[in-house]
Amino acid sequence: MKKIIWMPAVLLMGLAAMWGCDDDKTTEEQPAVAPQVTFPVTESAVSAYVDDAVRFEAVIESPGPLSCSWFVDGKLMASTASMTYVFKAKGTYDVHFEASNTAGKVEKDYSVTVEGSPLKVEFSNEEETISCLPGEEVLITATIVAGDKEVVHAWKVDDEEVSSTAEFKYTFDKMGSYTVAYRGVNADDISFNRTWTVTVDELPLEIDFSVTDATIPCVQGNEVAITATVKNGGTGLTHEWKVDSDVVSTTAEFKHSFAEVGTFTVSYKGVNGKGEEKTGTWTVQVEEKPLEIEFSKAEGTLKSVKGDEVAITATVKGGATGLTHEWKVDGDVVSTTTEFRRTFDAAGTYTVTYKGVNTKGEEKNASWTVVVSEAGAGYMFENFETLSSIAADYIKEGNAGSLSLVNNPYQTTVNSSGKVLKVDMSKTTTGTSAFFDVYLDKKLSGAERAKYKAIQVKVYLGKNEYYPRMLIPKSGNPNKMPCKINGQAFANNNASASEWKRLIKTDDWNVFVYDLEGCGYGFADCSEFNQIQFRPLVNMSAGGMSGFDAETNNRTVYYDDIEFLE
């Protein structure tokens, strides 16, 4: 079927005023001639579009007046040689033309098939193939340039519809090849279709590392950290970090502490979903820690009694390779191990020195002054190390079953003794605290006791809400307490909790020195008494001793190193 191509009428020169249809007003009579008409479109079956202005034309070639008529489906629509007609709906129409005079008649019929308005669409991206990266957005806009009658849009990615507007906006998260299809349909059911191929691919794998030096120095025990930052090609990426041949991490981060001295190889391999691979290697040179040694006794003055053993242990924390030990007493080597043990058989003052040297030539030195007194010149319990039981002549238990010798459960630098005195009232809720008495050598005279002007003790209180009360049960002054501890003055033994807490540590051993001199109770030394009493669990809070919390306030306290000081 051919669409009508309407041509303008061609009129013969000189005949335009003579020939025509009813509108010709010539009065001069002419002999009648049978109508002669030609038609630019000779086909009888033609087509058109809805709402288009279609021109039908007949060319009158015979002289004289004619009567012209154009009919659409039997209805007269024009009485001229030509007709312009707009079809408002799709369908098939009969268009009939007649030209007649007294001499005859000419007719022409057309069958006109009217189609919907043609839809024409232009796109912002006319390429057939579009490339993008994973996670990148693709945008295509459809612009209707013809047939814009209630157009319905539909965009699909493969078989899934993703938009019903004139705009396609879509983010492709995964690599692959996708088909984007557009279909537009207008009110005349005329459609327009278009497809694109979208190829989603990544840039080549690219990784940056936080450490770029090929060799990494490290001290024994320290951590080495390297981070892999993915720049491109990260889809499906797997990480693998090795130290020598051992896998130590499968994340983007390498963190490893090197406990041993030596040279190690750190390697990285990353492989993405496309099989692209990125590798890296580093050499880690681990050097030994600097020489570091801790001692069970702090440097300074140690007191002992003739015949007792003095023990000091060196614990190596770093730099142990090739380490040699040397302990001396007054210049004489007495031990080449980590432990110094010496029983001093004579009273006096001795110098104990330690020297440790490792393979690197690092050196550690320490020294102590050991003051050894005659046996029976006073009494002290250093560490309770030599006791298998409590000596009743020197310690008297105030509450049955509350005292015992136990292994030190809280060994620290302040007190690393192996054995301590345990005061335990956890099995009862009695309002009375455990107590015990400590005596100087009962053979000492008052004059011999006069040189002792302070008492020192180590106490571990833990989280017990109590203060370490020491009493002097002297006749006429029962239950009195020195008014200075570690130089801190207390008005009386009912000092406030805040005052005591400034003095007390709850996470380590306390070293308390109770001063007798100037205490205000009529004596300045031990000449008038040889007995003291410790009541370790005097409550700092109201309410007595009952209702204790078993975990944080367990009514158990530990004592060690009870000394009478000159």
CATH number of the domain where residue 433 is located: 2.60.120
Whether 74 maps to a domain, the answer reads yes
Q: Per mean pLDDT, which range of 122-131, 267-276, 468-477 is the poorest?
A: 468-477
Whether 507 maps to a domain, the answer reads yes
Q: Per mean pLDDT, which range of 80-84, 162-166, 386-390, 536-540 is the poorest?
A: 536-540
Element (H, E) at 247: strand 246-249
In this structure, the answer to whether residues 101 and 61 fall within a common structural domain is yes
Per-residue DSSP letters for 166-195?
SEEEEEE-S-EEEEEEEEEE-TT--EEEEE
Q: How confident is the model at residue 1 (pLDDT cuts 50, 70, 90)?
A: very low
Whether 382 maps to a domain, the answer reads no
In this structure, the answer to whether residues 260 and 362 fall within a common structural domain is no
Half-sphere exposure of 504 (CA within 13 A, CB side): 20
243 lies in which domain range? 206-287
In this structure, the answer to whether residues 256 and 176 fall within a common structural domain is no
pLDDT tens digits, 401-435: 577 888 889 988 888 888 888 887 776 655 555 67
Q: How confident is the model at residue 14 (pLDDT cuts 50, 70, 90)?
A: very low
pLDDT tens digits, 329-349: 999 999 999 999 999 989 899
Pairing of strands 215-219, 277-287: parallel
pLDDT reading at 32 higher than 90: no
Query: What's the pTM?
Result: 0.40
Whether 250 maps to a domain, the answer reads yes
Please check whether residue 531 is in contact with residue 537, taking contact to mean a CB–CB distance below 8 angstroms: no
Whether 379 maps to a domain, the answer reads no
Name the average pLDDT for the chain: 83
Rounded to an integer, what distance in angstroms lies between the CA atom of residue 218 and that of residue 261? Answer: 9
Which residue in the block uniquely carries the two structure tokens 């009694």? 305
pLDDT tens digits, 248-296: 999 999 999 998 889 999 999 999 988 999 999 999 999 988 999 999 9
Q: Where among 184, 200, 216 does a domain terminate?
A: 200
The pLDDT score that the predictor gives to residue 39 is: 94
The number of domains in the chain is 5
pLDDT tens digits, 153-179: 999 999 999 999 999 999 998 888 999
Q: Where among 200, 231, 250 does a domain terminate?
A: 200
Q: How confident is the model at residue 118 (pLDDT cuts 50, 70, 90)?
A: confident
Contacts for 190 with CB less than 8 Å, ≥ 6 apart: 115, 116, 117, 118, 119, 147
In this structure, the answer to whether residues 364 and 490 fall within a common structural domain is no
In this structure, the answer to whether residues 61 and 126 fall within a common structural domain is no
Half-sphere exposure of 525 (CA within 13 A, CB side): 13
Whether 378 maps to a domain, the answer reads no
In this structure, the answer to whether residues 242 and 363 fall within a common structural domain is no
Whether 60 maps to a domain, the answer reads yes
In this structure, the answer to whether residues 183 and 279 fall within a common structural domain is no
Q: Where among 140, 171, 200 does a domain terminate?
A: 200
In this structure, the answer to whether residues 367 and 489 fall within a common structural domain is no
Could you tell me where the DSSP H helices lie in 380-496?
446-449
Q: Which of 101, 17, 19, 7 is nearest to 61 (CA)?
A: 19
In this structure, the answer to whether residues 347 and 415 fall within a common structural domain is no
Which residue in the block uniquely carries the two structure tokens 């057309």? 110
Element (H, E) at 59: strand 59-60
Rounded to an integer, what distance in angstroms lies between the CA atom of residue 285 and that of residue 83? Answer: 100
CATH number of the domain where residue 89 is located: 2.60.40.10
Q: Which of 415, 411, 349, 346 is nearest to 382 (CA)?
A: 415
In this structure, the answer to whether residues 150 and 260 fall within a common structural domain is no
**SS3 of residue 446 by DSSP:** helix
Pairing of strands 454-460, 436-439: unpaired
Rounded to an integer, what distance in angstroms lies between the CA atom of residue 128 and that of residue 179? Answer: 10
In this structure, the answer to whether residues 252 and 175 fall within a common structural domain is no
Q: Which of 321, 325, 316, 326 is nearest to 359 (CA)?
A: 321
pLDDT reading at 498 higher than 80: no
Rounded to an integer, what distance in angstroms lies between the CA atom of residue 251 and that of residue 383? Answer: 51
Within 10 angstroms of residue 256's Cβ, the number of other Cβ atoms is 18
In this structure, the answer to whether residues 481 and 552 fall within a common structural domain is yes
Encoding tokens for residue 502?
């400034």
What phi-psi label fits residue 211: left (phi over 0), alpha (psi between -120 and 50 degrees) or beta? Answer: beta
Could you tell me where the DSSP H helices lie in 229-327?
none
Contacts for 544 with CB less than 8 Å, ≥ 6 apart: 431
Rounded to an integer, what distance in angstroms lies between the CA atom of residue 17 and that of residue 386? Answer: 151
Whether 386 maps to a domain, the answer reads no
